[in-house]
């Protein structure tokens, strides 16, 4: 009845207590993506990024122009990721890049650049299926926007998920609608929530991207955000620090209104990440804490740390703080 508190079964609290205990006693004190993958595959698995020639609805005028204010896709496209090359060619070059390190490695085709569900259904299917025909490709990861998942495509992905490993990653970026408007995302958080639930209801693993440090958002808001995301059926989460990139509208905004931005030091951001993770559902798999952009494009912050070096610092600081994922999580 209205006004009554919903009854939560006792076994829920027992399960959550067990999850917290496992996180505290785990090697990294959080639900690590690589460790999670090792439970699903009997061999090492590496993502290979692809640029399949898509665009975005907030670039071509469908929902807006100019794209997200922070976005310059050059920051996450490897050299082999070029639209003049086919999906197969990009995957084969990516395989050559990684093969020297682990000759027996298998691969996930990562449709990363722009919005990889924004196109005609048959063309999307052709590109996904082409990727799966490449030897040693054992699954696909599709990066997209919450407002670009039509029912007929989701039905196809449900079928695809039955025969291969699949993650659909949504760029959520923030749970605050004022922030989403400011950065020209072209969708609301409610749209993201709906897409996440629709996808998970099909039995498909859902990934989410979040940017920490967007203008106007405080640490307190971000920690509350962790609780909001924890209530959703999310499989994996990628955290990104805000990076100011040359050639973006946000770089111009920063030049005009620097007081609207807080550019974290590495130590500040490490503590923010740990605060965030402490409030996060321990069942969510954490894939990354930071992104790394090419130095020639990066304005700030420049911490001089590679991703694995930053991750090592997070793990060390978690041990110092006796912290773990979900330590302060409550449903």
Q: So where are the chain's domains?
A: 33-320
Contact call for residues 205 and 234 (beta carbons, < 8 A): no
Compute the distance between CA of residue 254 and CA of residue 130 in angstroms, rounded to an integer.
Answer: 42
Three-state secondary-structure class, residue 180: helix
pLDDT for 156:
96
pLDDT for 3:
43
Compute the distance between CA of residue 210 and CA of residue 170 in angstroms, rounded to an integer.
Answer: 9
Burial 227-259 (b: 16+ CB within 10 A, else e): bebbebebbbbbbbbbbbbeebebbebbeeeee
Q: Which two tokens stand for residue 282?
A: 């321990």
**Alpha-carbon distances of 87 from 80, 91, 145, 288, 289, rounded to whole Å:** 10, 6, 21, 25, 28
The structure's pTM equals 0.89
Parallel, antiparallel or unpaired: strands 244-245 and 205-212: unpaired
- Which CATH number among 3.40.190.150, 3.30.70.1450, 3.40.640.10, 3.20.20.70 corresponds to the domain 33-320? 3.20.20.70
* pLDDT values of the chain reduced to their tens digit, one per residue, 331 residues: 444 444 555 554 555 556 666 666 667 899 999 999 999 999 999 999 999 888 887 777 787 777 888 888 655 555 555 567 999 999 999 999 888 888 889 999 999 987 898 888 999 999 999 999 999 999 999 999 999 899 999 999 999 999 999 999 999 999 999 999 999 888 999 999 999 999 999 999 999 999 999 999 999 999 999 999 999 999 999 999 999 999 999 999 999 999 999 999 999 999 999 999 999 999 999 999 999 888 999 999 999 999 999 999 999 999 999 999 999 998 7
Residues 6+ positions from 142 with CB-CB distance below 8 Å: 111, 116, 117, 128, 157, 166, 167, 168, 169
Strands (E) located in 249-294: 285-288
Q: Which two tokens stand for residue 319?
A: 């041990």
**Would you call 323 exposed, middle or buried from its count of C-beta atoms within 10 A (0-12, 13-18, 19+)?**
buried
């Amino acid at each position: 009845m209205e006004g009554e508190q919903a009854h939560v079964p006792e076994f829920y609290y027992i399960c959550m207590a067990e999850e917290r205990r496992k996180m505290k006693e785990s090697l990294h004190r959080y639900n690590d993506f690589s460790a999670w993958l090792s439970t699903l595959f009997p061999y090492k698995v590496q993502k290979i990024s692809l640029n399949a020639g898509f665009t975005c609805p907030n670039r071509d005028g469908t929902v807006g122009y100019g794209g997200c204010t922070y976005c310059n896709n050059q920051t996450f496209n490897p050299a082999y990721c070029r639209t003049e090359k086919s999906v197969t060619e990009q995957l084969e070059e990516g395989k050559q890049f990684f093969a020297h390190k682990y000759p027996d490695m298998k691969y996930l085709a990562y449709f990363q650049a722009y919005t990889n569900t924004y196109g005609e259904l048959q063309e999307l299917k052709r590109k996904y299926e082409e990727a799966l025909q490449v030897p040693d490709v054992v699954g696909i990861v599709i990066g997209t926007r919450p407002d670009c998942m039509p029912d007929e495509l989701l039905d196809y992905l449900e079928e695809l998920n039955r025969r291969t490993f699949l993650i659909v990653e949504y760029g959520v970026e923030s749970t605050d609608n004022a922030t989403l408007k400011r950065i020209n995302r072209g969708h609301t958080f409610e749209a993201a929530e709906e897409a996440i639930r629709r996808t998970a209801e099909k039995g498909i693993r859902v990934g989410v991207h979040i940017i920490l440090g967007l203008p106007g958002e405080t640490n307190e808001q971000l920690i509350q955000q962790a609780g909001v995301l924890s209530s959703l059926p999310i499989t994996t989460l990628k955290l990104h620090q805000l990076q100011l990139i040359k050639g973006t509208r946000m770089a111009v905004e920063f030049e005009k209104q620097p007081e609207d931005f807080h550019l974290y030091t590495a130590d500040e951001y490490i503590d923010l990440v740990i605060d965030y993770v402490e409030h996060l559902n321990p069942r969510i798999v954490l894939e990354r804490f930071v992104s790394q952009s090419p130095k020639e494009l990066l304005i700030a912050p420049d911490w001089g740390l590679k991703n694995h070096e930053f991750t090592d610092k997070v793990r060390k600081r978690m041990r110092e703080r006796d912290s773990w994922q979900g330590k302060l999580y409550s449903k």
